């Protein structure tokens, strides 16, 4: 079995592509991505050297998306909350995003956090990159093997979505209502419906 390793690369297409070939415990970090990816084929944009851009190879976990959000919010510290499922928020602005991709025997957790620049309407978390990376590694190691009940409890504490009036855009339809909770599978409960995928928009303070 290969040893886990840390790859620090100046420029890549996406850290996710490099991480896919590495063993559990490995990390890929870069200054710049020419084709940084969000969910659903969206783009993740960050000018060179302005962001933490990393992919972590982790064991699979049924709630890894929420667990990664918890780990990242804790690594960022005070003032950073989670919009369902795992966007890093400073107030109502997005400061970081998480993309979880699952393979047969491992999962790749990609995390992008704006440090010194952000697109219009987005936020930064002004912290030194390497220190933040170290805290992320440590928190991810812990939360990626935590039991689901602990992940859900901590996610609820860090959430800025619960209690808010939200709009959920699903393929072909839209639900609006108060985000009342998350179920044991990590689905958001809105208007009595359990939403496990889709985009959530916070409508107003609730």
Q: What is the rounded (10 degree) CA torsion for 189, 191, 195, 201?
A: -100
Q: Whose Cβ is closer to ligand BT5: residue 147's or residue 169's?
A: 169
> C-alpha angle with apex 38: 35 to 39, nearest 5 degrees?
135
Whose Cβ is closer to ligand BT5: residue 64's or residue 99's? Answer: 99
> Which lies closer to ligand BT5 via its Cβ, residue 60 or residue 94?
94
In 3D space, the residue among 57, 55, 61, 60 whose CA is nearest the CA of residue 23 turns out to be 57
* Binding-site ranges for ligand BT5 (CB under 6 A): 14-16, 33, 36-40, 42-46, 53-55, 87, 94, 97-99, 110-112, 114, 118-119, 122
Question: Residue ranges of the alpha helices (H) in 51-114?
Answer: 64-76
Q: Between residues 1 and 40, which has the closer beta carbon with respect to ligand BT5? A: 40
Token pair for 20? 């896919």
Rounded (5°) CA angle 67-71-56: 85
Q: Least distance from C-beta 57 to ligand BT5, angstroms?
A: 12
Beta pairing partners, 196: none
* Minimum CB–partner distance for residue 154 and ligand BT5 (Å): 20
110 or 186: CB nearest ligand BT5: 110
Q: Tell which residue, 125, 27, 25, has the closest CA to residue 74.
A: 125
The strand order across the sheet containing 193-195 reads 193-195, 188-190, 173-182, 165-170, 199-204
- Which position's Cβ is nearest ligand BT5? 97
Least CB distance to ligand BT5 at residue 147 (A) = 25
How near is the Cβ of 40 to ligand BT5 at its closest, in Å?
A: 6
User: What is the closest distance, in whole angstroms, from the C-beta atom of residue 178 to ligand BT5 in the complex?
Assistant: 22
């Amino acid at each position: 079995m290969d040893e886990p390793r840390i790859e620090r690369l100046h420029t890549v297409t996406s850290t996710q592509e490099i991480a896919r070939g590495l063993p559990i415990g490995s990390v890929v970090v870069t200054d710049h991505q020419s084709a940084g990816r969000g969910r659903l084929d969206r783009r993740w944009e960050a000018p060179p050297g302005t962001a933490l851009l990393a992919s972590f190879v982790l064991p699979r976990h049924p709630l890894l998306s929420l667990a990664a959000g918890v780990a990242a919010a804790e690594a960022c510290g005070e003032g950073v909350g989670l919009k369902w499922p795992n966007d890093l928020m400073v107030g109502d602005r997005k400061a970081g995003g998480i993309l979880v991709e699952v393979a047969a025997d491992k999962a790749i957790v990609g995390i992008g956090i704006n440090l010194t620049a952000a697109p219009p309407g987005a936020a930064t978390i002004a912290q030194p990159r390497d220190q933040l990376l170290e805290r992320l590694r440590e928190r991810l190691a812990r939360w990626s093997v935590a039991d689901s009940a602990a992940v859900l409890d901590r996610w609820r504490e860090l959430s800025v979505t619960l209690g808010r009036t939200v709009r959920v855009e699903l393929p072909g339809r839209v639900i609006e209502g108060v985000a009342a909770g998350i179920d044991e599978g990590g689905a958001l409960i809105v208007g009595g419906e359990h939403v496990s995928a889709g985009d959530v928009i916070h409508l107003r303070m609730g």
